[in-house]
Structure 1
Amino acid sequence: MPAVGGAPALQHRAEDTFALIGRPPATDRLRGWVVTAALTALAALVRFTGLGRITEDGGTPVFDEKHYVPQAWQMLRNGGFEDNPGYWLVVHPPLGKQLIAIGEALFGYDGFGWRFSAAAAGVLTVFLVIRAARRLTRSTLFGALAGVLLICDGLSQVQSRMGMLDAFSAVFVVAAFATLLVDRDDVRARMARVVAEGRAGDDDYGPRLGVRWWRLATGVLLGLGCAVKWSGVYWLLAFAVLMLVWDATARRSAGVLRPWAGTLRRDVLPAVWAFGVVAAVAYLATWAPWFGSETGYDRYAVENDGLRPWPLVPEALQGMFTYAERVLQFHESLTTQAQGAHPWESKPWTWPMGLRPMLYHFESGPQIVGCGTDDCISSVMLIGTPALWWPAPAVLLFGLWRAITRMDWRWSAVLVGYGAGILPWFVNVDRQMYFFYMTPVAPFLALATVLAMAEVLGRRGMTRERRQTGLVVVGLWVGAVVANFLWLWPILVGAPITQEMWEMQLWLPSWRQ
């Protein structure tokens, strides 16, 4: 059977496609891009305002910036690789530190320079969430609301303004999710053409779908996400399963006689190629400076450590595996039992509501001015906006009910993205864990909240009173998130506040040391 794909598959009319296989896309493309551009600009204003102002004494990095910022600076000076990790601390693959190094190259070794790339990643994440929400809901309005929610999320705000790695994990995960959604629509467009041409029943397994460029892009992005932090592999596996389920349901909707067998026969091997081989190549590409170096850490581990060479494995690749082994050993030893309890560590059951935030920076005294008294405080606290995070359990349970009872693919997609970021951490609860691990999960919380808001607003065709009531509830909900974010603004950006205001910001006992 000939392959279906490429430009010919996209030439049929969109309304014919989606009449067969789903709701039509939003038609206000120009307004959609104008709204996206405006909110992305607002996100840039919020994320970049006073970006480099907060540092420790002498202009040094704060909190875990102390690890990654100097490592990135060393990479910049060496051409993209580390050769002397501080205190022999080898923690993560190179890509996140390479991205931090770009900002340092552009703006220098200061707060703005080492945070620039993370802030840019945070802005790009807002852009991607807007477009993903618009595609999920077929609505520019709800795409905009998703952008507003993410802009006003305190966790996303703070982590986008830190020279750490999690903002980069978030942008690659969300970008992969966005391309996966495009691939889903593209597959259904191709299947709709097969149905329109009367070829869906030519083979019990259904048609071959040709080259799926958006699926390949998803594989590349997930590989890059793993090159920031290995936790990216959770989303790689979760999205691979989600994609195959979507492929099977697309075949079933097209009337294919054996849709699941067809997916196994037609789609599994291309999925392994995209999410296995292509992702691995993308991951290895970020190590190119290390492979090309003479002094990269563990580059010559076989020779220097007296290791036995592996048959048929290049010594450079074995050196990379040795590097990875040291990373794994570090993470395995990072437990509460072995290292003791960190003052700001938390466990994953507290994360959905953000019950245990983190204090990144605190300074008080006469050197802090601008609050109207002689005893001002400047602090940066990683805290999710309560108006967004506290309803999360109800939102997620409602979404789970919709996914199970209504087979709503939108909720399934968002819950898979959310679950891949939190469920694996329950496997070893003795490990030291921190709330900033939820940075890549926060965009999925925004998407889930928007889907819940869409249900509250109601569908077209409902009574006027019902729609108006829903509009009021959604407006109040969004307004509460925005107002809550503005209230927290001083402790998200380190603005000087009084002692009394500081006490008023700490709503729960778990927010304190």
Structure 2
Amino acid sequence: MASIVGVVAAVMRFGNLGYPQALVFDEVFYARGAYSLITIGYEGEWGGENQDFANGDFSQLTSEGDYVVHPNIGKLMIGFGMKLFGPSAYGWRFMAALVGVATVLMIAFIARHLLRSTLWGLVAGLFLAVDGEHVVLSRTALLDIFLTFFVVMAFGLLIVDRHVTWRKIQAAAARQRVELNLGVGSLIPGAGPNTGIRWWRWAALVAFGLAVSVKWNGLYFAAAFLILSVAWDWYDRHKAGYENWFMGGFVRAIPAFFATLIVIPLVYLASWIPWFQADKSWGRHWAEDHPGEGFTWLPDSLNSLVHYHQQMWDFHRGLDSPHNYESSPWGWPLQLRPTAFYFEDVTDVDCGAERCVSAIHAIGHPLLWWVGAAVLLYALWRIFRHRDMLALTVTAGYLAAWVPWLPFAERTIFTFYTVTMAPFLVLMVVWAMKRLAQPARLHGAWWPPGAIICVVFVAAVLVVAGFFAPIWTGEPIPFRYWQLHMWLPSWV
């Protein structure tokens, strides 16, 4: 499974990764910021033209600190790729492609565990491997693919934590039934065992801290998944037969809550070490220059960092400048207004037509996203009508990536943010496919009509992915062929 999924994901992400040799969309901020971090130790301001950097002219970097509005981890990872392969398009995109492939593999294994099937894990991995949002962001030096990577990592670690903890609960319940001479269906007195230090949950907290250190909206996922982890604990203690299952889960959530308040901020603070170490980084000496202002009880360096974060918060809160590709989050599940990252006429390549273009559009795979929107409604029905914990598990990440943006529909936000939804979208879709092909009433047996529908759907997904691949990778194509991909007027 891993080899098939990994090869497909790698081909889609690493194939001709260095093309185009240009700053694509917001690479102008993050590739140059990453180069600055690995060169002078902080983010300096840039002069000159954007294409100068892409052409290998780095003399435009100044020693003046640049005002940036996202933390450092994503840019440091981009910079690591440039350390390995040089400050070329391949170099600044390498780490995005690498973590993109890693995310695909993680989702394949997560689906395999949740659905108890290697086959369905393979399908989930293939679907993410050929999703347009994930492909495009894996081939571009933006921050969102790194956020997605750490969020999926944290989710996977929490699943491992649940598996380990469930085995402890199950063993304790079996032992107590024997000791108390209780029947299989009778309740067990008490709230369940003390499961000890949950190291996998601690590791998940570190991963959440790294996610927040890429972009602040990693906090949405931390809140959603840590609450989900408590719900798992309640569910598993109840399933094991403990009478006071709620109290058992609640009491053990208290230390987890305080651990969250310690670990995530510490990891986040550590991500600012380059800023602390560089005297010329933006706002580094604000407190010294403004005595008596801010949080004066803090050391000057932390007081300056807090003030810098207040400026960052004001920027994000007031971000409302018109943009051609801004989109309402209400349309994200249907990919109604995808983001065009790059579009140029190509004159040095013969594509077999009078006009050739190179285009990169962050469009999610239409079949996956449109079917996924319907699956979401079905999953919500399963959650509220049948208290389906697996439906909640596969849906939580999708909702955490989407719902918090709905109140900010009037702000300047973009559909490419949905790359964080993509891994959980495929989990939802594959969960629904399994329920169709192997309905619960058949206890794992296959229902032939459902299986045929799923096979046809997988084939259709792969065919459509092949059709859309050129506008996910920027391959030069005839202009007319590009037009054939604009299925909706809002995609143009």
Residue 364 of structure 2, aligned match among 365, 368, 384: 384
> What is the rounded CA distance, in whole Å, between the counterparts of 1:99 and 1:116 in structure 2?
9
Correspondence for 1:10: none
Correspondence for 1:69: 31
Conserved in 1, the CA contact under 8 Å of 2:209 and 2:265?
A: yes
> What is the rounded CA distance, in whole Å, between the counterparts of 2:350 and 2:445 in structure 1?
49
Conserved in 1, the CA contact under 8 Å of 2:339 and 2:361?
A: yes
Conserved in 2, the CA contact under 8 Å of 1:360 and 1:380?
A: yes
Conserved in 1, the CA contact under 8 Å of 2:151 and 2:218?
A: yes
Correspondence for 1:187: 165
Provide, for residues 66-120 of structure 1, a one-character-per-residue CA deviation record: whole Å limited to 9, x for no partner.
01111110100123x3254789542101111111100111111111011011111
CA RMSD of aligned residues (A): 2.1
| Residues 466 and 82 (structure 1), Cα distance of their counterparts in 2 relative to 1, 3 Å cut | closer
Residue 207 of structure 1, aligned match among 170, 193, 203: 193
Question: What is the CA distance between 1:295 and its match in structure 2?
Answer: 2.4
Correspondence for 1:357: 338
Work out whether 1:452 is the aligned partner of 2:432: yes
> What is the rounded CA distance, in whole Å, between the counterparts of 2:427 and 2:73 in structure 1?
27
Report the identity percentage.
37
Correspondence for 2:10: 44
Correspondence for 1:28: none
**TM-score (ref. length: structure 2):** 0.90
**Number of equivalent positions:** 467
Correspondence for 1:487: 467
Question: What is the CA distance between 1:443 and its match in structure 2?
Answer: 0.4
Correspondence for 1:496: 476
Q: Which moved more, 1:162-171 or 1:321-330?
A: 321-330
| Residues 408 and 464 (structure 1), Cα distance of their counterparts in 2 relative to 1, 3 Å cut | closer
Correspondence for 1:30: none
Three-state SS of the structure 2 residue aligned to 1:362 is: strand
Conserved in 1, the CA contact under 8 Å of 2:169 and 2:192?
A: no
Three-state SS of the structure 1 residue aligned to 2:340 is: strand
Question: What is the CA distance between 1:163 and its match in structure 2?
Answer: 0.7
> Which amino acid in 2 is paired with 1:357?
P
> What is the rounded CA distance, in whole Å, between the counterparts of 1:461 and 1:310 in structure 2?
62
Residue 281 of structure 1, aligned match among 266, 271, 291: 266
The residue correspondences of 1:72-471 to structure 2 (distance < 5 A) are 72-79=34-41, 81-84=42-45, 88-198=66-176, 204-265=190-251, 267-306=252-291, 308=293, 310-335=295-320, 339=321, 341-365=322-346, 367-459=347-439, 462=442, 467-471=447-451
| Residues 491 and 369 (structure 1), Cα distance of their counterparts in 2 relative to 1, 3 Å cut | same
Conserved in 2, the CA contact under 8 Å of 1:368 and 1:375?
A: no
| Residues 274 and 146 (structure 1), Cα distance of their counterparts in 2 relative to 1, 3 Å cut | farther
> What is the rounded CA distance, in whole Å, between the counterparts of 2:190 and 2:145 in structure 1?
45
> Which amino acid in 2 is paired with 1:43?
A
Correspondence for 2:52: none
Provide, for residues 111-168 of structure 1, a one-character-per-residue CA deviation record: whole Å limited to 9, x for no partner.
1011011111100110110011011101000000000100110111001001100100
**TM-score (ref. length: structure 1):** 0.87
Q: Which moved more, 1:384-393 or 1:302-311?
A: 302-311
Question: What is the CA distance between 1:381 and its match in structure 2?
Answer: 0.9
Conserved in 2, the CA contact under 8 Å of 1:368 and 1:376?
A: no
Correspondence for 1:511: 491
Conserved in 1, the CA contact under 8 Å of 2:155 and 2:204?
A: yes
| Residues 202 and 299 (structure 1), Cα distance of their counterparts in 2 relative to 1, 3 Å cut | farther
Q: Which moved more, 1:455-464 or 1:497-506?
A: 455-464
Question: What is the CA distance between 1:202 and its match in structure 2?
Answer: 8.5
> Which amino acid in 2 is paired with 1:76?
I
Three-state SS of the structure 2 residue aligned to 1:55 is: coil
Conserved in 2, the CA contact under 8 Å of 1:355 and 1:510?
A: yes
| Residues 400 and 461 (structure 1), Cα distance of their counterparts in 2 relative to 1, 3 Å cut | closer
Conserved in 1, the CA contact under 8 Å of 2:189 and 2:244?
A: no
> What is the rounded CA distance, in whole Å, between the counterparts of 1:246 and 1:464 in structure 2?
23
